[in-house]
Every structure is written in C-alpha cells, then in structure tokens.
Structure 1
Amino acid sequence: MARPLTIACLQTTPMPDFGSAIGVALPLARRAAGEGAQLLCLPEYCGGLVSRDGVIRPPSAPEDSHPVLDALRGFAAETKIWMQIGSVAVDGPDSTIINRGYMIDADGEIRARYDKIHMFDIQLS
C-alpha cells in the first residue's frame, strides 16, 4: 500500500529584508513540520521584495552565501524535510538579479534549481 505524502504550502508575505523573511518563513515551516509535513513549498520571492521610489526590487545575495537560502537549507537538514522554494533573488553577472527557484532535499542539499524568465515587460503605475 502506498504511503501518503503530506505537503504544506506556506504562504509568506514578501518582506523588505532577509532577516524579516527568515523570521516569517521559519516559524511557519516549524509549525508545518510539527504537524507532519514531509515537503514544504514556499512562494516566489519568499526571500523578500522591496518597493522604493516606485521601483520593485528584491534583496539579493550570492547563491553560496544567501542568508535565506542558507536558513532554509539548514532547516531542511535539521528536520529531514524536502523543500520547494518558489524563488529567492540571487546575484547574477553584471549586477543582474536572478529570480531562482530551488528544490532542497532532506539533507539540505540543492537538488535542482530553475532560473525563472519573464517573457514580457510590464510597467506597474
């Protein structure tokens, strides 16, 4: 007989900085883990999003030292839970920002990554 898989979808609000984003995501993740979740799914820009002077821009960091990614990987390893991270903003070449999604395994290792591309321009005003 097949075993059920318990999946938790965590709905976070994009926060203005990494510390706030971690402070919102980890308590939700702990609650879901405590209720038996085996896979956690987080939304796009769970690492943050800032609006300044009419410009929307996420806080970003290099992948190998990204505070939100590191915190979520550590949580996955600690709890032995897989995580699908909708996206965090990572530094790209030439001062670009990459909107990157991740699949993290129960050891906290990155198993897959996906760089999202947007096929259209939009102006919000």
Structure 2
Amino acid sequence: MGHTFTAACVQLTSARDIPDNLDEAVRLIRDAAERGADFVQTPEHTDIVERDGGRLLSLTSDEEGCEPLRRFAALARELRIWLHVGSLAIRLDGEMLANRGFLLSPDGEVTARYDKIHLSDLALSAGDEETESRHVRPGNRVVACDVPWGVLGMTIGHDLRFPEAYRTLAKSGATILTCPASTALAAGEPHWHALVRARAIENGAFMIAAAQAGGAPGGPRTFGHSLIVGPWGEILAEAGEEPGVILAAIDVEAVEVARRRIPSLRQDRPFDQPPEIHRGPARLAS
C-alpha cells in the first residue's frame, strides 16, 4: 500500500448494553470504510462502559469466547480494513479482567493484542472516583506491530500520561502511535489535547486517539474529541462531543521529516539517579 493511507476514528457513547454498543460501533465502522478508511480505530471500552465489576464479569468472557471480538473480526474481513478495536473487557478468571485492545488484519486475524498497563485509579472530585484496578489486571509490556504503512504502537487510555511507554515504542521503530481512550470530562477538558499532541511531538510520530464521548444515563461523563495528530503536533482531524467518524490522510514520510529536523530519539543521554538536589536556605521569618 505504500506510505500513505486514510485513518479513521470512530467516536462512541458506549453504555451498559453490549449488543446495542456493538450495533452502533459496527454502523460507524461501516461508515468509515465507505468513506475510504484503510485503518479504523474504535475507543477504549468499545463493548461496554460499566463501573460495577461484578456485573462486568458476569457479562464478559475469555478471549476465545468473546462474541464482540468474533463480530469485529468478521467485519474487518468483510470490509477488508485494518480494524483497531480500542479495547474490550476480557475475563481472565473469576475475579479479574483485562482491558485489552486488538489489531485485526483485513483477513480478520488478530495481528496484535495489548493489555492496558496504567490503570485508571483516579479521584477527580469528591464522589467521583474511578478504581479500575479493583477488577482489571494490568498488562506488563508495550506492543508494536507491523502494518502496511510502517510500525504501529498500541496503548490505551490512562497510558497517555506515561510518556516513557511512547518513547519506548518510538525507539523500537513505531511511526504510528495509538491511544484509544475513555477520558473523564474533568480530566479531558484541561489535558486531552495537550497530552495527545505532546506524545506526537516528542516522538515525531502520528497519534491516533479515538475516544468515548458524552455519557449514557447513569454512567460517567467522557470528553470525546477524538484526535488524529501529525508528527509536528498538527491536528489533522478532530471530533466534537457526539458519536461519529473523523478521517485524515496519513503520509508516514512526514515522520522521517520530523525526526530528521529534531532527532531527539537519537539524543538520549544517561544521567545519574536519583537527582542531585540542593536545598535552599530556610525562608526567613517575616
């Protein structure tokens, strides 16, 4: 396929009903493919947004029995697209799940899978706490995969706040970085754009970040604003706050240009840890 392709983000408002969520995701993925997308990404929690860990366990299965994954694999095969399912809830045992993303080839095969490393244990305001670690077991390694246009690095959601993961992927050859997310409104408004653009700029890579938007009745409010960002930090496409599809033309040769102009990935230098700290004199009493 060469060095150019069309990428799409599907923005969803997933709720507590898996069949309804899947129907909406399939509809928008089809729309993206009809509009010329070669690569389509859905957000974190594509299948279900559910804070009740017990209910979540009761509704999900292991990867082998995962009906949402089977349905998305068949869709990728039908549409002949690369489909990045941002994440699904995958049961690991009777008590814990994985928040797992999947990259599906146009043959419907799982080419790569990634378990979210940095879990969303947050206290954004009084009475608005999220403790993902209660029912999700974190992954322990970042994942990159060859695609026809280069190397794609996979992350999810709260990983966005840990730049070392993206630098590791970029230094391993990733030119396209991804972060499907479900970002709380209180964190998304001040931080989402800055963090997505920063990960693109500091690594000289494309960032593709499909997001959950709005919120189902009784569920958490999410920020939306799915983004596709170029390696110089330029926003190529942005969604609003409603479900829908955004598309952008990607020329991966722009990565080589950006990394040649600012070759920071080759300029890391070792330094001693912990830092040398000089304490100043005690403040004089007024």
TM-score by structure 2 length? 0.39
Tell whether the 8 Å contact from 1:10 to 1:28 is kept in structure 2 after alignment: yes
5 Å-filtered alignment, 1:39-54, equals 39-51=39-51
Report the Cα offset of residue 60 of structure 1.
2.4
2:36 aligns to what SS in structure 1?
coil
CA separation of 1:119 and 1:76: change in aligned 2, threshold 3 A: closer
Moved more, 55-64 or 32-41: 55-64
5 Å-filtered alignment, 1:28-47, equals 28-47=28-47
CA distance in 1, matches of 2:39, 2:55: 28
Percent of aligned pairs sharing the same letter: 32
Unaligned runs of 5+ in 1: none
Give the length in aligned residue pairs: 122
CA distance in 1, matches of 2:9, 2:24: 14
CA distance in 2, matches of 1:31, 1:43: 16
Report the Cα offset of residue 17 of structure 1.
2.2
- Matched to 2:118, the amino acid is H
CA distance in 2, matches of 1:7, 1:57: 34
2:90 is aligned with 1:87: no
Which residue of the partner structure matches residue 21 of structure 1?
21
- Matched to 1:63, the amino acid is E
CA distance in 2, matches of 1:120, 1:18: 21
Which residue of the partner structure matches residue 174 of structure 2?
none
CA separation of 1:5 and 1:77: change in aligned 2, threshold 3 A: same
CA separation of 1:4 and 1:56: change in aligned 2, threshold 3 A: farther
Which residue of the partner structure matches residue 68 of structure 1?
68
1:27-73 CA distance string (max 9 Å, x none): 10111111111110010000111245xx7974522111212111111
CA separation of 1:30 and 1:13: change in aligned 2, threshold 3 A: same
Report the Cα offset of residue 95 of structure 1.
2.1
Unaligned runs of 5+ in 2: 130-286
CA distance in 2, matches of 1:34, 1:77: 14
CA separation of 1:64 and 1:56: change in aligned 2, threshold 3 A: closer
Larger Rg: 2
1:84-119 CA distance string (max 9 Å, x none): 111100001342111001111001100000111235
Tell whether the 8 Å contact from 1:50 to 1:56 is kept in structure 2 after alignment: no
Which residue of the partner structure matches residue 5 of structure 1?
5
CA distance in 2, matches of 1:17, 1:41: 20
- Deviating above 3 A after TM superposition, structure 1's stretches of 4 or more consecutive aligned residues are 55-59
- Matched to 2:64, the amino acid is D
CA distance in 2, matches of 1:95, 1:73: 27
Moved more, 24-33 or 88-97: 88-97
TM-score by structure 1 length? 0.85
CA separation of 1:49 and 1:5: change in aligned 2, threshold 3 A: same
